[in-house]
Homo-oligomer: A and B are copies of this chain.
């Protein structure tokens, strides 16, 4: 298998370099399997495997039909989220480390949100909070809680910070839900979460950066201090 490995890695490295140096850009079609194989002196099977690997990473998309083919993808958040979820699960990063990174990223996203928030994006965040207030079930509450953090991040125009925030938050969806489902005092914890979210919302509605950062940081630290997650999470 090692010879075969090397051939598809040559193809994969070639495509990645072309993306890194800007000669392949989003939406652009790749040469055909046959052309790539001839150009790189490898078999068509190796080309196919490299392409599948890059599709799996969200770097390329493949479609069939008359206008089909393999193109450079623009699927950013989804690919990053999928990748980080796996990395977090594999790495068993300590909860304390994840907490610090979430605080750092969400300071950034809430700062951008205070700068860029509109009446529309504020209304969407308000609606997520109103739904949370009506929900007792931990699973549905957890989904809305994730939505809240994603909506706040999206209210600011910093796509990289937003993507990373979403990826980290999504990677914690299962461990947070498991912790919420097993905690003895979910009803009390839930009320605390609601009021912390309201504090973030109020500061954001006032475009008050310092208060929004303080409220977000207090909320994240409070949650991790109380949630009964393993020291090695995920």
Contacts and interface: CB of A to CB of B under 8 A. Distances in A.
Interface of A: 1-2, 5, 8-9, 12, 16, 19-20, 22, 26, 48-50, 52-57, 59, 62-64, 72-74, 76, 79-80, 82-83, 85-91, 93-94, 96-98, 100-101, 103-105, 107-108, 111-112, 157-161, 163-164, 174, 234
Contacts of A100: 108, 111-112, 158, 161
A8 B108 CA distance: 38
A57 B53 contact: yes
A101 B108 contact: yes
A52 to B, nearest CB: 5
Contacts of A83: 57, 80, 83
Closest 9 CB pairs of A and B: A53-B56, A53-B53, A104-B104, A104-B108, A93-B160, A97-B158, A97-B160, A2-B64, A20-B89
B101 A158 contact: yes
A101 B59 contact: no
Given A53-B55, A57-B83, A100-B112, 13 more contacts: A1-B64, A2-B64, A19-B89, A53-B57, A56-B56, A79-B87, A80-B87, A97-B159, A97-B160, A98-B160, A104-B107, A104-B161, A164-B164
B57 A86 contact: yes
A34 to B, nearest CB: 14
